[in-house]
Amino acid sequence: MGSTLLVLFAGWHIFASFLWISPYSELRTIVPGNALSTYMLPWFGQSWSVFAPEPINGDYRLEVRAIIDTGSATADSEGYEATDWVDATEVEISKARYNLFPPRAAILSTQQATKLLNSWKELKPEQREIAALGYYEGDRWLARMHDAMVEFGDEQKVTNYIVQERYTTAYATQVAYAVWGEENVGQVQFRVSRQNIVPFAERHNPDAERPAPQIANTGWRGVIVLSGQSNEDFEKSFMASYRGVEND
């Protein structure tokens, strides 16, 4: 009985992986509802884009900085300053380097950077200019940014972008709280980019350089903490790797 169940499970797993890895087709409808995606994600998810003819050919990166209270206010200064950028992606990737069983925490920033940049690309030039402005005052700054963008149309694309802005800002908030302390952080800013690798035709050229990165230009944001987030747990995980990267 046990052997039979094991064979059936192995057969299902191989079939499900085949459906998931293969380019999308009507064959996937054999599995009803969301059963396939529920089974494959998050543990077995793979992407067709790792294979030819269009393999992944670029790196996504998410960097974070903050406005912090330095505690040194004077008559000539309010005591606030902008920090240097922290490369959150490099910190997380270090968890996977030389690790046969990398944690999912090693790809969080890469996944979010991908979603944010892809939704930013869908915006009109006027809407991208709005994204580059600072939005952080009051409790409705995210809604005000949404309303300003919608004036130029494409409400669904704007909504998709605002959703990713919210998640990315929440992630940037956790990074800022971990690195500089929750009590010190007033605003955050994230910088999301994608940089292609050296073109295949130039692979043997010793002077070949990677193309310039494409950057989603975004301004200062208010802090966001989503329900269910644990700043304490995030800090323990992130800072353990952050200190290692800083000491390299």
Task: Tell me the domain boundaries of the chain.
Answer: 1-50, 58-246
CA–CA distance, 222 with 23 (Å, rounded to integer): 40
Kindly report the pTM of this predicted structure.
Answer: 0.78
Phi and psi dihedrals of 177, rounded to 5?
Answer: -60, -40
Phi/psi of residue 64, each to 5°?
A: -135, 140
d(CA 194, CA 247) in angstroms, rounded, equals 26
pLDDT digits (tens, 9 = 90+) for 115-147: 999 999 999 999 999 999 999 998 899 999 999
The average pLDDT across 210-222 equals 94
pLDDT in tens, 146-203: 999 999 999 999 999 999 999 999 999 999 999 999 999 999 999 999 998 888 888 8
Task: Say how far apart CA 48 and CA 20 lie, in whole Å.
Answer: 8
Residue 185, class by beta-carbon neighbours within 10 Å (0-12 exposed, 13-18 middle, 19+ buried)? buried
Helix axes 231-247, 155-180, angle to 10 degrees: 70
Beta bridge partners of 243: none
Residue 10: phi and psi, rounded to 5, are: -65, -40
Structure tokens that stand for 82 in this block:
């902008």
pLDDT tens, residue by residue, 77-109: 577 899 999 999 999 999 988 888 888 788 899
Amino acid at residue number 92: E
- Residues 38, 40, 45, 48: what is their CA dihedral angle, to the nearest 10 degrees? -100
CA 84, CA 175: separation in Å to the nearest integer?
13
Task: Please identify which residue in the block is written with the tokens 């990166």.
Answer: 61
Among the listed residues 161, 144, 180, the one whose alpha carbon sits nearest the alpha carbon of residue 67: 180
pLDDT score recorded for residue 197: 86
Q: Which residues face 64 on adjacent strands?
A: 86, 190
Nearest by Cα to 44 from 23, 24, 22, 16: 16
- Position 121 scores a pLDDT of 96
DSSP string, 112-167: HHHHHHHHHHTS-HHHHHHHTS-B-SSS-HHHHHHHHHHTTS-HHHHHHHHHHHHH
- pLDDT surpasses 70 at 229: yes
C-alpha 247/C-alpha 114 separation (Å) is 28
